Amino acid sequence: MKPTETASEAAAQTDDLRKQKALRRLEARYGEARELLSSEEPHRNLDWVLGASGATKQRRSNLSLKMIPLVSLWLEDLAVELERGLAPGPLGEPDERVERASQACKTAARSLREATEGFLSSVNPVRRKTMNTPQAFAILFTRLPRIENAPGLILLRVDASRGSEPPTMVGTLTDAALRGRLAHFDLHTANELAAVRKALASDSGEATVYEHWSGLESCLQFWYGFSGSQIRLMAWTCEACGETRRESIGGSVGETFPRLCPCGQATRLTVPKTIGA
């Protein structure tokens, strides 16, 4: 340690080096994983954060701590897709080449998870110590405008700062997806659920419920990755102007709802089956 360097400064530098090393490892594992999968959607949101372009590196340097748990969920989605591997041959018999590729995908998924955990621990070394300490979170809902006489989707945000910072944007939900989440753990009373339904009955209606979770990551894991109506990046192209739009939407497979392009044209979307389901 240099004579003018305090112990706290030295510790901070060591901590920064640890974070940089963990991030470089995560970048490498992410790059390996992407090479094994299609370059198409739905992982462009991760390319925005962990890709190799100069612009991406600049965004990554300014990555908010509030954004990191959501990025970890995207990485888990990628790991799950890798674990599914590749499909067998047309007759259902595993081709030796496909089997090798499938094993490579599973190995990459394991490495990606290890790198993700290492990065999360480097950003917050005490996360394991605090994960069993419940924290209060405000779950915020806002009804989006009606489209073609159909109710708008519900904007979902999570706030752990008691209003001192902007809430974390999670995505949008269909009514069925929201009902499933609210009823899952039986945490909310009938009166509370009725109040939420009444508040969201009209355009721009707002409602808030409060839940206790061990941390932001576990809260987002539930609300983002709820089984049966997971929030996923959905891409659609406007038939009128040809513009392609992408939105994070949670809904049950087969649900159909309209989305509105800035040009004014409405397009109906249907939630597809999960890849590999």
Structural domain spans, the chain? 7-127, 131-277
What are the residues whose beta carbons fall under 8 Å from the beta carbon of 65, sequence distance 6 or more?
A: 123, 124
What is the tens place of the pLDDT at every residue in 24-67?
888 888 888 888 876 555 566 677 677 665 455 555 555 656 67
Q: What is the pLDDT of residue 40?
A: 52
For the chain, the average pLDDT equals 79
3-state helix, strand, coil in the chain (%, to 5): 45, 20, 35
Query: What is the pTM assigned to this prediction?
Result: 0.59
Q: How far is CA 223 from CA 168, 169, 180, 213, 275, in A?
A: 12, 11, 10, 11, 20
What is the tens place of the pLDDT at every residue in 57-93?
555 555 656 677 777 777 877 887 777 665 444 444 4
What is the tens place of the pLDDT at every residue in 191-207?
899 999 999 999 999 99
Q: What is the pLDDT of residue 161?
A: 79
Q: Which of 38, 20, 22 is nearest to 275 (CA)?
A: 38
Residue percentage of the chain with pLDDT more than 90: 30
* For residues 6-12, average pLDDT: 62
DSSP state of 234: E
Residue percentage of the chain with pLDDT more than 70: 75
